[in-house]
A and B are shown apart, each in its own frame.
Chain A
Amino acid sequence: MSRLSNWLPTNWQWFNRLGSPRWFYHRSERWLPWLSLAALLVLATGLVWGLAFAPEDAKQGNSFRIIYIHVPAAFLAQSGYFIMAIAGAIGLIWKMKISYMVMKAAAPIGAALTFIALFTGAVWGKPTWGAYWVWDARITSMLILLFLYAGVMALQYAYHSVDAASKASAILALVGTVNIPIINKSVDWWYTLHQPATIKLTSAPSMHMDMFMPLLVMIVGFYLFYAVALILHTRNEILRRERKTSWVRELATAKARG
């Protein structure tokens, strides 16, 4: 595994190797410490910069700072759905077990991030708009995304056969992916029809650079955090699904023996 020639993608071997749960399990053990450290450092930098050092907003004062959690969570919630759907597609096309495991692992993480985005949005909304919840286009789209995640998770747990559960969830995730642009555009259009005149939203793109830089750092930090969480969940799923194999049994007994 240490020779460079083993790493050069001159053939598709590396792709198929990635499909082995056992190989992924052992490889990811080496990646995890570095990834976790990177995630921790970037998140800490972003948080301290954004919460303490970024300039105060002219209209909102300090309450805008929740943007440093709200926006990255929303970003990852949407990217996470596509990651889940692509993992499902890879599983359906190339029939790789590990791809289904990644899809199953990605679902609760994405759903949690969607919830965090909605919750932090509500907390932000109270001091700025006077209401915890408004039927804004983006908020409604996020809520629908939460339902889509819930559907995929519910379908996973409804089936006894792991194979059927994985394939059905993959199909549902793909159907949801096709629908996400349609839903977003519909809700956008619906909102412009019914927009209440009293609600004014601060628009993110016209942010000052001093406020925007820590936001970028936080987004990168959240991506790294997502990668760590996904790998941890996938490793768990590998152990659960492969528990009858000899390598997992050896791992368990070696751990027990200490």
Chain B
Amino acid sequence: MVTQDARKMDSGFAAWLRRDLLLAYRRRGEVASPIVFFIMVSTLIPLGLTPEAAQLAKVAAGMIWIMALLATLLSVDGLFASDYQDGSLEQMLITPQLLPLPILGKVTAHWLTTGLPLTLVSPLLGLMMSLPNAGYLPLLCSLALGTACLSLVGAVGAALTVSLRKGGLLLSLLVMPLYMPVIIFGTATVSYAVDGVNWLPPLAILGAMFAASVALCPMAAAGALRVTASN
């Protein structure tokens, strides 16, 4: 996969990013399912609550965020699963590169194939749920940063449960408390904008969470993988 040069060693980030994007492209149907889930379940909200535009507008921001969180939660389970099953995860563990960097590559690929499409589809859902005009840009920005945080934190949970058979349900239980601050500030960004207040402060806090996650989550996931994947 990565040819080692005696003088300079690749970090593995780009190689794993490219690999995962290629694999995702070959399994386009599978990768599209979180987005389809996102759109379909968002149709359930008016059916379950009310079709009135005024009422929907009040819950639109929160509901879209909740659906995005659930869609990410469903997809993060497969982050390490197929690699664990065919043995390439073990190859990742024994390569000389620092383990957090390939993990960051995989998580980036996951975000590009899940979080980014969710973010791009969200204005459409905002339209369907009568989101006020002021909310669209904040929704895009908060979802872009927020889904990145969700992918990163989800990677830690996926690493902890990769070798378990019924790991998916346990994964949801593990990462749900860690997702709560992200959703609090994500929805706050949009509701501030809808209320006419400056929406940059909660977005800045989301940015801080993103920075902390990028720095810490790959290391935590690496530690977890060393424990769980080598058994």
Contacts and interface: CB of A to CB of B under 8 A. Distances in A.
Interface string B201-225: 0000000010000001000100110
Contacts of A186: 180-181, 184-185
- Give the secondary structure class of B's interface: helix
Interface string B167-183: 10010011011101100
Interface in A140-192: 144, 147-148, 150-151, 154-155, 158-159, 161, 164, 167-168, 171-172, 174-176, 178-179, 182-183, 186-187, 189-190
Contacts of B173: 147, 150-151, 154
Nearest to B188: A193
Interface residues of B, number: 25
Nearest to A159: B164
A171 B224 contact: yes
Contacts of A193: 188
Contacts of A179: 177-178, 181
Contacts of A161: 231
Given A172-B160, A193-B188, A167 B227 contact: yes
Contacts of A158: 161, 164, 167, 170
Contacts of A189: 184
Contacts of B145: none
Interface in B36-85: none
Interface of B: 156, 160-161, 163-164, 167, 170, 173-174, 176-178, 180-181, 184-185, 188, 209, 216, 220, 223-224, 227-228, 231
Given A147-B177, A154-B173, 16 more contacts: A147-B173, A147-B176, A151-B174, A151-B177, A155-B161, A155-B174, A158-B164, A159-B163, A159-B164, A164-B227, A164-B231, A171-B220, A182-B181, A183-B180, A189-B184, A193-B188
The 8 closest A-B pairs by CB, nearest first: A186-B181, A167-B227, A151-B174, A190-B184, A147-B177, A186-B184, A144-B177, A164-B231
Interface of A: 144, 147-148, 150-151, 154-155, 158-159, 161, 164, 167-168, 171-172, 174-176, 178-179, 182-183, 186-187, 189-190, 193
